[in-house]
């Protein structure tokens, strides 16, 4: 997964008509935009060069944004990434419109087709964040709200994201993330998890065989963004008493078809 290339106006270029680049609010917004569009944490010196700002100014802005919870330093390092409050703002924007968005209709169609709950999740702050969900029309359902966060190492969508990471970044995530046990089936051994991720990369489909919730199985496939990298995971989940893992895997073609539609939609939005 290559780092995002930031295309920013040079320091000596004229600001766009009708704007004032000296406004503190716009400077803070520029810093937020640079960090939120990068696929990795960014340091103050790098930001100063990219944005054409004095290093002292960038340092003051990022410290202020960190105090407000809009930025954070992963593992207490010296580089900055999107903070929980900024992600919360982004989620609020998505949640306010997602019910009427075409992609929600795709999830509804998948849920009707397979007869089970369908989820769409992204990776945020070391976990899976559900950004949309359609519950199955059964008396017994899996009651996760949009905005719920679940672990990476023991969920189908989470393992898809782990499998999509470059080797160095994967090792950094595994080193920083405790592989907590949630059920008897949770994979807590790093070597076993690496082997599972190798299989996922080869098959293009991930499973949660009662690894996060006892009695619940899940199958997920990737949704790619406009740059061709994994942007989200599309999954179907159900109680094992109603749908075995073998039966759930039979729905993989329907998930891939829906994921292809979602991917095409994301590419169109990115053009």
Instruction: State the DSSP string of 210-269.
Output: SSSSTTEEEEEEEEE-TTSSEEEEEEEEEETTTS-HHHHHTTHHHHHHHHHHHHHHHHHH
pLDDT at 13: 36
With pLDDT > 70 as the criterion, what percentage of the chain qualifies? 82
Q: At residue 7, does pLDDT exceed 60? A: no
Q: At residue 37, does pLDDT exceed 60? A: yes
Q: What is the CATH number of domain 1-82?
A: 1.10.10.10
pLDDT at 14: 37
Judged by average pLDDT, the poorest of 147-151, 191-195, 233-237, 248-252 is 147-151
How far apart CA 145 and CA 159 sit, in angstroms, is 20
The answer to whether residues 193 and 154 touch, using CB atoms and an 8 Å cutoff, is no
The answer to whether residues 238 and 216 touch, using CB atoms and an 8 Å cutoff, is yes
pLDDT at 246: 95
| Polymer length of the chain | 271
Q: Strands (DSSP E) along the chain, which ranges?
A: 42-43, 71-72, 79-82, 117-124, 127-134, 149-150, 206-209, 216-224, 230-239
Mean pLDDT over 141-147 rounds to: 61
CATH 1.10.10.10 residue window(s) in the chain: 1-82
The answer to whether residues 117 and 236 touch, using CB atoms and an 8 Å cutoff, is yes
The answer to whether residues 157 and 119 touch, using CB atoms and an 8 Å cutoff, is yes
Judged by average pLDDT, the poorest of 37-46, 57-66, 172-181, 199-208 is 37-46
- What are the distances in angstroms from CA 207 to CA 27, 190, 196, 220, 235? 44, 17, 10, 6, 9
pTM for this one?
0.66
pLDDT at 74: 83
Alpha carbon 81 to its chain centroid, in Å, reads 14
Q: In CATH, which of 3.30.429.10, 2.60.34.10, 3.30.450.40, 3.40.630.10 is domain 92-270?
A: 3.30.450.40
pLDDT at 36: 79
How far apart CA 87 and CA 71 sit, in angstroms, is 9
> Which of 171-175, 193-197, 241-245 is predicted most confidently?
193-197
pLDDT at 88: 72
Alpha carbon 64 to its chain centroid, in Å, reads 25
Judged by average pLDDT, the poorest of 15-29, 103-117, 219-233, 252-266 is 15-29
Place of tokens 């954070």: 72
CATH 3.30.450.40 residue window(s) in the chain: 92-270
Q: At residue 19, does pLDDT exceed 50? A: no
């Amino acid at each position: 997964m290559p780092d995002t290339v930031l295309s920013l106006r040079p320091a000596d270029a004229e600001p766009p008509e009708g704007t004032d680049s000296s406004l503190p609010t716009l400077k803070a917004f520029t810093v937020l935009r640079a960090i939120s569009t990068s696929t990795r944490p960014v340091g103050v010196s790098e930001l100063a060069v990219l944005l054409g700002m004095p290093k002292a100014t960038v340092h003051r802005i990022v410290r202020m944004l960190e105090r407000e919870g809009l930025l954070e330093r992963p593992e207490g390092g010296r580089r900055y990434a999107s903070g929980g409050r900024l992600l919360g703002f982004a989620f609020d924007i998505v949640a306010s419109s997602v019910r009427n968005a075409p992609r929600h209709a795709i999830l509804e169609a998948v849920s009707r087709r397979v007869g089970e709950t369908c989820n769409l999740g992204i990776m945020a702050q070391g976990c899976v964040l559900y950004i949309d969900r359609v519950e199955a029309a059964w008396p017994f359902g899996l009651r996760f709200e949009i905005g719920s966060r679940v672990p990476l190492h023991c969920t189908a969508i989470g393992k898809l994201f782990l499998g999509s990471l470059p080797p160095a970044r994967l090792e950094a995530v595994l080193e920083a993330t405790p592989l907590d046990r949630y059920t008897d089936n949770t994979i807590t051994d790093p070597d076993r998890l690496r082997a599972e991720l190798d299989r996922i990369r080869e098959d293009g489909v991930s499973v949660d065989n009662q690894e996060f919730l006892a009695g619940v199985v899940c199958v997920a496939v990737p949704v790619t963004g406009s740059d061709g990298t994994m942007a989200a995971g599309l999954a179907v989940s159900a109680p094992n008493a109603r749908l075995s893992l073998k039966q759930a895997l039979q729905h993989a073609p329907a998930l891939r078809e829906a994921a292809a539609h979602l991917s095409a939609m994301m590419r169109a939005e990115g053009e």
